Amino acid sequence: MSVTAKPLPIGGGSVRGAPVESPLTLMWYKFRAHRLAVASIWVIAALYLTAIFANWIAPFDPESRTGLPFSPPSWPTVMVDGEFVWPPVAFGVSQQLDRKTFKRVYAIDTSKRYPVQLFIAGDRHSWFGLFPTDMHLFGVDKGGAFFLMGTDSLGRDVFSRMVYGSRISLSIGLVGVAISLVLGVILGGISGYFGGWVDLAVQRLIEIIQCFPSIPLWMALAAALPHDWTTIQVYFGITVILSLVGWTDLARVVRGRFLSLREEDFVMAARLAGASEARIIGKHLLPSFMSHIIASVTLSIPSMILAETALSFLGIGLTPPALSWGVLLQDAQNVNTLATAPWLLLPGALVIVTVLAFNFLGDGLRDAADPFSRESFK
Amino acid sequence: MWGFVLRRLVWMVPTLIVISIISFIIIQLPPGDYLSSYIARLEALGTTVDQATIDALRLRYGLNDPIWVQYFKWLGNIVFDGNFGYSFEWRLPVSQLIIERLPTTFLVATCSLLFAWSVALPIGIFSAVKQYSLGDYFFTILGFLGLGIPNFMLALTFLYISNRYFGLSIGGLFSPQYLNAPWSLDKFIDLLSHLWIPVVIVGTAGTAGLIRITRANVLDELRKPYVETARSKGLHPMLLILKYPVRIALNPFVSSMGFILPGMISGEVIVSIVLNLPTTGPLLYAALLSQDTYLAGAFVLMLAVLTVIGVLISDILLAWLDPRIRLS
Amino acid sequence: MTLSTIGGWSRRLVGTATLATLLLSTTAFGAAAFQQSPMLDAAVADGSLPPIEQRLPPEPLVVTPVSEVGSYGGTARAMRSSTEEFGDATSVVGIESLTRLNAEDGATIEPNLAQSWEWSNDDKTLTMTLRKGLKWSDGEPFTTADIAFWWDDVINNAELTPTMPGDWMSAGEPMTVTVVDEQTFKLDFKAPNRLIELLIARDGYQGQIFLPAHFLKPFHPKYADPAKLAEMAKAAGYATWAELFAQKALSDDVFGVANFDSPVIRAFKPASTNGSHLILERNPFYFKVDTEGNQLPYIDKVDVDLVQNPEVYTLKASSGEADLALENTTITQMPVFIDNAEKGGYRVLEYSAGFTNIANMMLNQTVADPDKRALFQDIRFRKALEIAINRDEINELVFFGLGTPMQNSILPIGGRCWDEAVSKTNTQFDPDGAKALLDEIGMKLDGDWRTLPNGKPFKFTLTYWPGEGGDAKRKIVELTQTYFRNIGLNFDVREVERSLYFEFTTSNQHDMGLWHADSATDPLWVTGPKIIPRTQRHGAFATLWATWFETHGEKGEEPPQDMKDAMAAWEKAKATGTPEALVEGCKAVVKANADGAWTIGTVGAFPQPLIVSNAMRNIPEQGMASWDWGYMARYHPEQFYLAQ
């Protein structure tokens, strides 16, 4: 996560001897007041670290089948027969199909114990093709029932799949927003800065795009993706689709800020002092502007994450073998899952946490965005 | 004022033309056309369709015409005849199909909107007044939960729980026994018992945004000098907030109203598919999938045009409220 | 389901039906012995409906109930997933065609609307005699005029039917239809065409050869003023009279479309609609009775709920909101169905899903890329793919171990074409053997993936539509991906919508396609073979070769000898048309497919849950549930009844 919200020394220090706080420092002071937002930073950081180091964190390969389909979550325990054990142990497990109910019946074999180990050898993996290894951060030896979030219909570990799936789900928001941002800043900036007929034309364009419900737009664009694209290409295609539909909000924000800042006294002052346009934009407009952009960007990320899951649900987004939270949730979208394997919905909980975290972070940033309102310094 | 309205009306013409073009492109973008989808279905049903039949059908439906000819034919029929075309899939006039389902769509959308506002306004005002209090966090989390939960997941879970644990009949807007019954109190109650699920799901997805707007606007207003003045004059705090800042903070609602329809419709599509509602959503979705050109095109066009009109109305309202806008 | 030969349809005359019950004469009951549903009593009493004796034909078709004589009344609840079909209601409403296939052996042809039929000695003329006194649901007589109208004014009208459907052609020329009298008509073919007999009996997929002439004539320019007709069409929102006519003519469409105006011949008629519900009511002129002279159907009304989302379907079925559900039930949902059976008040029967394969993969041997094409045409490569698949694991994970690993062939049900050895060709799991084959071809490992024999990087993509069969296809594809990757092949998967799949495969844009293999019993297979490249547009395991066959060598590319031989054998069998010849032809194609690895089969012959409410009676305990079998329509749905 790039938004660490630490005080950065942009335009900081003292000017002509008077102590002046930079806009970002001011922002940080205000931001701290929003405790949920501060907590969200930690949550988001943890999520992204997990995504980056997914291959070490996941105890299993996301595609490896354990031969134990629809196993409920089974956690290691520290209490065995009333005795405390350390490290926690997982038990052996066996599975049988009950031909009458068509359910998999799981029997725990407490005589077989598998202690949880750190840095344990397991499925082979590599970090984006680098550092091939079979070392996992934690896990148990083969045979132990160590499925933190159960297994899916093909017997794959849901937790591991979720961890790997976060790579696509968390990055699709960033990449999509980045594209939206470029479009939004360029078009919104042009529109706001030049005004006149350019502004009018861009405004009409935004209005027109916003007039369309997003689902037909998504469906048409998704159907137009070449069918022989690889999973990765489809992923980028979908990201671009989401941002093509989603850039308008950012453009409006950018334009709005440009318009209002243009009229601010300090800009007028700078202009009267003979500052060049470039200096006005770079030195005065951008800093006071960035905070708002960052807040808006943060608030658009969760909608991208949600859109990805919605696309998967509609059958026009990513599909297996691609792994994303949307793909995992699509697999869970059936009555059979709700009734017999509700743990497959757990990726949904992760979506909720992520979306909330981004929203609170965005709210905190937005509250803090205007460095000159001092009300909430109390 | 009239000059402003006239200017906006003139501007609507090119906007509408561009919208109709985009609508048509959206429908034509996926490879293939309705016939390929129709033949795919026939073949799936075991019927063999030979190339000659395909060619003949393509000719009959004018699918061989260049795309701009198809576009002008389509638009011409709409503008001059009010004829939105014929749904290949339903073998019925498009207008009839849409009109049948519009009332339920508006019912769900309006109720969702009301629900969203009635949840978002109190929470927004509360969390602005009591910024960073425990209550602020609690209600904001509550309000944002609806945003965080994917709509389809929430819908299916609601459906499952309401059926399994509360014995409600699944999907639709009425229980089977009330479907053909005349309106009565019981039927109305039955409707409410079904309606709340989509309303809550569609509504909660929209509350977060509204909470944020309200909260930000009330916060902005609270900082203004007139609030200090009123407070110093001894106006009761609660009365003060409701009388001034909230009233002014409502302005953005008016301006965002125009764009709410497409958002609600999009949210409604997914929820209605899951909940099996007789609204326009599933119809639109199916039409897009089967490339039922005229039906899907008419839908997209109609929604976009309604939105344009909505934006126009909200702009006029704003201009009427605020003279600065109409003079700019 | 009993296994039996398809010899049944070889009989020259089926005047003496195998089931003695079918043609009991009315005298067995006596004229006063017919009873009707109490629902109709009032209408008969006030004279708006003629009495039962005048509504039934003099010789009604007698149906023997599956377990007992039922009682009248009730509304059967069913679901459908699209407005174009009756869905599960098909299983209650039934399908009426001139003749029908026996429900038990799926092969014997039985009388239905037609009472008897006869082939000329040269097998070129089929003479059919309709049951006397049949009536449409509006009371108008059903006669050969309805067949003549269908042929002369609909099939032979260029606006309604742009090109003559191939089924009515023989040796390149359309058949002729001659009306002999009110009950008798003749179909004349240029060449022997015994296959048509099966087509007609196959519950009318392509064999529905009648339309209500008296009702449709006012919408046809031959009988009505074209100017007025154009006005009518316009007023109703249609561009041409043909569109209006097409809508009006839908009444007795095979799977049914709600059309409230037009009369029907089947047991139920669309009566009203409300939101997503469609209500059908009994046809008072229906021509069948039970063994005690009760006019069928037993059930008064059918309530069809439009349920587009398959999960809502499952939820409704599993909470007992339908009296009968099987269209969208899949074996993967078994646990939830069984779990709720008691609470929902229903039973779960295990019917056979009519697939020899729910996921049948097809490498496109005429793919555009020349390197890929050379590889795909190498049988060793296709064989390597076949044996890389662990079908037992698929069976265990997706079908609870209840399916059968097999190639795309034919089901044992009712089949002389069934050959176990052929269906098991190359189905053993042998990844090492697969790797050895790839090595032999010269596909060397370069990093993770194997290259083409010429050293260029290689990647291929499966394009497929995940619909039909619940999530089984998607799961099999996920598994297959890992199998192919395990032997070092860079294999990717792309899900597409059905129409897009069709678009890609017909325009030869796919590396590999996937479709379900249905029509998998003898009589169904021969009326619509699913392996032959010609009709397998969906499958298209060789689009350009299929085009070559379709255009008789004008377009496309010339196929290899084994495919040409198999096609020739099939064409010959069809031309000969005798059941024996058809069996031979069918066997030849099935074997050529297995030997030549044209298609890559996975698992087939698995069960499908049938949900039956406790009130619903006279449902056979075993049977087949598939669209091409007409769902339950083959099991005489008119004798299903709801116990009070």
Q: Given pLDDT bands bounded at 50, 70 and 90, which one contains residue C286?
A: very high
pLDDT along chain B (328 residues), means of 10: 80 84 80 70 61 69 77 83 75 79 82 84 84 82 81 84 76 70 80 84 81 78 77 76 67 65 72 81 81 81 80 76 57
Please state the rounded mean pLDDT for residues C283-309.
91
Residue A53 C-alpha, separation from nearest chain B C-alpha, in angstroms: 25
Q: How many CA atoms lie within 13 A of A212 on its CB side?
A: 33
| Range of lowest pLDDT (C104-108, C401-405, C619-623) | C104-108
Closest partner residue to C537 (CB to CB) among B43, B95, B169 is B43
Domain boundary among B16, B48, B83: B83
Residues of B whose CB is below 8 A from C502: 32, 36-37, 39-40, 43
Q: What is the pLDDT of residue B53?
A: 66
Token digits of residue A224: 């137009």
- Give contacts of A375 with chain B, Cβ < 8 Å: 219, 222-223
Q: ∠ CA A339-A344-A346 to the nearest 5 degrees?
A: 115
Record: contact A228-C509, CB cut-off 8 A = yes
Between chains, do C492 and A154 touch, taking CB under 8 Å as contact? no
Shortest distance between the Cα of B24 and any Cα of chain A, in A, equals 11
Distance CA B116, CA B123 (A): 11
Asked if residue C26 has pLDDT above 50, the reply is no
User: Chain C residues within 8 A (CB-CB) of chain A?
Assistant: 311, 314-315, 318, 332-336, 338-340, 393, 397, 400-401, 459, 461, 463, 466, 471, 474-475, 477-479, 481-482, 492-497, 500, 504, 509-511
Question: What residue in C sits closest to B31 (Cα-Cα)?
Answer: C500
B89 falls within a domain? no
pLDDT for A378: 30
Q: With CB atoms and an 8 Å threshold, state whether C336 touches A321.
A: no
Record the tokens describing residue C244, joined without a space.
Answer: 């209006």
Looking at the domain assignment, is residue B18 inside a domain? no
Please check whether residue B63 lies inside any domain of the structure. yes
E strands, C136-233, are: 169-170, 173-174, 176-179, 184-188
Task: Assign B175 to helix, strand or coil.
Answer: coil
pLDDT at C308 over 90: no
Give the B:C interface size as CB pairs under 8 Å: 135
Let me know if residue B20 belongs to a domain: no
Q: Residue C18: what pLDDT?
A: 36
Higher pLDDT, C315 or A19: C315
Tell me, yes or no, whether B299 and B261 share the same domain.
yes
Give A-chain residues touching B300 at CB under 8 angstroms.
212-213, 216
Q: B touches which chains (3+ CB pairs under 8 A)? A: A, C
Per-residue confidence of chain A (378 residues) as pLDDT tens digits?
344 444 444 444 444 555 666 766 777 777 888 788 889 999 999 999 999 998 889 998 888 888 888 999 988 888 888 888 888 888 888 888 888 888 888 888 888 888 888 888 888 888 887 888 888 888 888 888 889 999 998 989 999 999 999 998 898 888 888 888 888 888 877 777 777 788 888 888 887 887 777 777 777 777 777 766 776 787 788 888 878 877 887 787 777 777 777 777 777 788 788 877 777 777 777 666 676 777 778 878 888 888 888 888 887 778 787 888 988 988 888 888 888 888 998 998 899 999 889 888 888 887 777 654 444 333
d(CA A76, CA A144): 9
Residues of chain B with pLDDT > 90, as a percent, come to 0
Contact across the interface for B274 and C537, Cβ inside 8 Å: no
Determine the distance in angstroms separating the CA of B47 from the nearest CA of chain A, rounded to an integer: 26
Q: Are A290 and A257 in contact, with CB atoms under 8 Å apart? A: no
pLDDT tens-place string over residues C462-504: 988 887 777 889 899 999 999 999 999 999 888 887 777 877 8
Q: Which residues of A touch B131 (CB under 8 A)?
A: 367, 376
Closest among C89, C312, C320 to B172, alpha carbons compared = C312
Beta bridge partners of C611: C325, C348
Instruction: Using CB atoms, pick whichever of A154, A230, A336 lies closest to residue C397.
Output: A154
Tell me if A335 and C495 make a contact (CB, 8 A cut-off). Answer: no
Alpha carbon distances (Å) from A7 to A2, A27, B14: 13, 8, 48
Per-residue model confidence as pLDDT tens digits over C236-267 = 777 788 888 887 876 555 555 667 888 889 89
Task: Based on the fold, state whether residues B209 and B107 are members of the same structural domain.
Answer: yes
Put simply, the answer to whether A216 touches B144 (Cβ < 8 Å) is no
Q: Is the peptide bond preceding residue B262 cis, with omega within 30 degrees of 0?
A: no
**A111 near A60, Cβ under 8 Å?**
no
> Six-digit token pair at C371?
């390197």
Each residue's pLDDT tens digit, B267-298? 778 888 888 787 888 888 888 877 777 888 88
Question: Does B314 lie in the same domain as B195?
Answer: yes
Q: Does residue B282 lie within any of the structural domains? A: yes
Residues B57 and B193 in one domain: no
Give the model's confidence band at C16: pLDDT under 50 very low, under 70 low, under 90 confident, else very high.
very low
CB atoms inside a 10 Å sphere around CB A1: 16
Tell me the residues of chain B between 62 and 121 that have a Cβ less than 8 Å away from chain C.
83, 86, 89-93, 95-96
Q: Which residues contact B324 (CB under 8 A, 6 or more apart)?
A: none
Q: What's the whole-number average pLDDT of chain C?
A: 85
The total domain count for chain B is 2
pLDDT digits (tens, 9 = 90+) for C142-168: 999 999 999 999 989 988 887 777 778
Name beta bridge partners: A266. none
What single-letter DSSP state applies at residue A144?
B
Of B53, B96, B176, the CB nearest to C163: B53
Q: Does A223 contact B285 at a Cβ distance shorter than 8 Å? A: no
Q: Do residues C523 and C107 make contact, with C-beta atoms less than 8 angstroms apart?
A: yes
| B156 touches A at CB < 8 Å | yes
Instruction: Parse chain A into domains and list their residue ranges.
Output: 65-156, 162-377
Q: How does residue C370 score in pLDDT terms, banded at 50, 70 and 90?
A: very high
Burial, A349: exposed, middle or buried (Cβ in 10 Å; 0-12, 13-18, 19+)?
A: middle
- Interchain CB distance below 8 Å, C243 and B52: no
State residue B182's pLDDT score. 75
Out of B26, B150, B212, name the one closest to residue A220 (CB): B26
Does C84 sit within 8 Å of B275, measured CB to CB?
A: no
> What percent of chain C has pLDDT above 70?
91
**Residue pLDDT, tens place only, C183-232:** 999 999 998 888 888 888 876 554 578 989 999 999 999 999 999 999 98
Confidence of residue C581 (pLDDT cuts 50, 70, 90): confident
Burial degree of C186 (CB within 10 A; 0-12, 13-18, 19+): middle
Check A97 against C474: CB less than 8 A apart.
Answer: no
Residue of C584, C601, C598, C497 whose CA lies nearest to C542: C598
B280 belongs to a structural domain:
yes
d(CA A157, CA C247): 52
Any CB–CB contact under 8 A between C268 and chain B?
A: no
pLDDT at C309: 78
Note whether C376 and C599 are within 8 A (CB): no
| Cβ contact, residue pair C316, B43, below 8 Å | no
For residue C301, report the phi and psi dihedrals to the nearest 5 degrees: -140, 155
CB of C25 within 8 Å of a chain B CB? The answer is: no
Residues C112-141 have a mean pLDDT of 93
Domain assignment present for B136: yes
For residue B200, give its domain range: 101-327
pLDDT on residue C257: 64
Q: Parallel, antiparallel, or unpaired: how do β-strands A117-127 and A103-115 relate? A: unpaired
Query: How many Cβ atoms sit within 10 Å of the Cβ of residue C345?
Result: 13
Inform me whether the pLDDT recorded for C532 exceeds 60: yes
Predicted confidence at residue C426, as pLDDT, reads: 92
Q: Does B153 touch chain C (CB under 8 A)?
A: no
pLDDT tens, B98-121? 887 878 888 888 888 888 888 888
The β-bridge partners of C303 are C77, C279
Nearest CA among A136, A171, A146, A137 for reference residue A47: A171
Counting beta carbons within 10 angstroms of the beta carbon of residue B11, is it exposed (0 to 12), middle (13 to 18) or buried (19 or more)?
Answer: middle
Contact status of C509 with chain B (Cβ, < 8 Å): no
Specify if B211 maps to a domain. Answer: yes
- Which amino acid, residue B176? P
Chain center to CA of A321: 20
pLDDT at C558 over 80: yes
Per-residue pLDDT at C204: 53
- pLDDT tens-place string over residues C389-418: 999 999 999 999 999 999 888 887 766 788
Taking the CA atoms of residue A335, residue A337, residue A338 and residue A341 in that order, the dihedral angle to the nearest 10 degrees is: 160
What is the separation of C-alpha B302 from the centre of its chain, rounded to a whole number of angstroms? 12
Contact B46 C237 (CB under 8 A): no
- Phi/psi at B165 (5° precision): -105, -20
For A162-377, CATH gives: 1.10.3720.10
pLDDT in tens, C442-457: 999 988 899 999 999 9
Kindly report the backbone phi and psi dihedral angles of residue C490, in degrees, each rounded to the nearest multiple of 5, phi listed first. Answer: -80, 95
